[in-house]
Chain A
Amino acid sequence: MEALFPRGVLPYLSGGLLIGAGVALIFILTGVRAGASGVLTSTFSWFSRRPIFEALRAERAWRGMFTLGLLLGAAVWTFGFSEPDRTTVEPMRLLLGGFLVGVGTRAARGCTSGHGICGLSSLSRDSLGHVCLFMGVAIVTAQAMGRLLP
């Protein structure tokens, strides 16, 4: 266990339960299966009249509030019960990776929360395919980068 989970299992399990509670609360109250990546596209309906963004006007408000909640909840936990951390991953790597994540999750219409948590919890076989695919590619990429870079 120590080798598989050097930080212990409690932070992960309790964090996962909190995430599930957030998804469940929204579903029980509104019937929506909320994923995180949709805001990346729907936000542009505030600025652009292109039909592909305009079509998302109905969801842009709740996606914005959901995202605000993500930030606030993370802030409350970090500054109330933990401490801030500053990543050492280089800015260019974050920018490039982020760009690919933006294109990819919007093309695939879901991310770790949309296909991962909501899709798998909806027993969607296509979501399972997406999860296996993006996790597999990410594992190969991260391992290759770990060998190539110092």
Chain B
Amino acid sequence: MRLICFLLGGALFGAGLARSGMTRPEVVLEFLRFEDLGLLLVMGGAIGVALPVFRLARRPLLGGAPEAFTATLGERRWLGSVLFGLGWGIAGVCPGAALASIGTGNTPLLWAVGGMFLGAFVQGRFRLLAPAAETGATDA
């Protein structure tokens, strides 16, 4: 049941990425070159829904307690976001959009997805930019 929630939520998320065109690197690169600022509206729309829900929802309907936001605990790893920005600027892909784009049949994006998994493996395997003590921290 819990897993079905993630499937449904992911499906809404994926439909939104496809609806907004964020699954297309061209549209993202146009934003980064200031030719079409739509990406800001996508983020604003998503935050406009998520922020009040994060504030107001007290108790998960399936039980337990709401998870704290833990992705920023521990040492700040700014260099990671510098590398992410470089990759985002080069290819116009970020993780959610690249994964969803496979569902849209945009098969060349498999190169980007393959690169992302490879990069994540190398980062984890060699603990790049990550203090060894932090291995168990939960991520966003």
A35 to B113, CA, bound (A): 16
Bound: A21/B13 CA distance, A: 7
Q: Which 10 A-B pairs have the closest CB atoms?
A: A69-B10, A16-B45, A102-B119, A97-B91, A15-B20, A98-B115, A141-B89, A137-B85, A20-B49, A100-B87
Complex formed: what's the CA distance from A75 to B101 in Å? Answer: 8
Q: Which of B7, B71, B102 contacts A119 (CB 8 A)?
A: B71
A28 touches B61 (CB 8 A): yes
Given A40-B95, A40-B120, list of 17 further CB < 8 A pairs? Answer: A15-B20, A15-B45, A21-B49, A22-B10, A25-B12, A31-B65, A69-B11, A72-B10, A85-B24, A87-B101, A89-B29, A98-B93, A103-B122, A107-B130, A110-B72, A137-B84, A143-B33
Q: How far is the CB of A16 from chain B (nearest CB, A)?
A: 2
For the residues of B in contact with A, the DSSP-based class is: helix
Indicate with 1 or 0, residue by residue over B96-140, a CB within 8 angstroms of chain A CB atoms: 111111111111110111111111111111011110000111111
Contacting pair A65 B80 (CB below 8 A): no
Which A residues are within 8 Å of any B CB, using their own CB? 4-7, 9, 11-41, 43-44, 50-53, 55, 59, 61-63, 65-79, 81-82, 84-89, 91-124, 126-127, 129-130, 133-146
Distance to closest chain B CB from A101 (angstroms): 4
Contact B89 A52 (CB under 8 A): no
Q: Write the chain B residue with the least CB distance to A26.
A: B9
A70–B87 Cα distance when bound, in Å, is 21
The chain A residue with its CB closest to the CB of B117 is A40
Are B10's CB and A70's CB within 8 A? yes
Return chain A residues, CB-CB under 8 Å to B98.
Answer: 98, 101
State the CA gap A74–B139 with chains docked (Å).
Answer: 24
